[in-house]
Amino acid sequence: MGHQFPLYRKHASGKSYFIILSETEYKEFQFVGKQIFRYEFKIKTYFDTLHMKSLLDAAHPFLIAEKQEMETLITML
């Protein structure tokens, strides 16, 4: 697809951030109250593929996040 990884995305709500490592792998950082949860995903199902396409395309409700935003987030972990 021509993407240069990693790519950074965030949910429009500001409660989830994503680091896309490849076309088949990403990490999600989810804010719930004062806690931050970290999840790692590998694409396995058709639904996962659709979700990844939305992330890669930065389709609503996903937005492009800046690398600096992600670096700040990671220091909070």
Q: Using one digit for the tens of pLDDT, what is the confidence trace for 23-70?
A: 999 999 999 998 989 999 999 999 999 999 999 999 999 999 999 988
What pTM was computed for the model? 0.89
- Domain containing 34: what range? 7-76
| 2 belongs to a structural domain | no
Classify residue 32 as exposed, middle or buried by CB count within 10 Å of its CB (0-12, 13-18, 19+): exposed
- What's the helix, strand, coil split of the chain in %, to 5? 30, 40, 30
| 21 belongs to a structural domain | yes
* Cα 12 to Cα 77: distance, rounded to the nearest angstrom: 21
| 40 belongs to a structural domain | yes
The number of distinct structural domains making up the chain is: 1
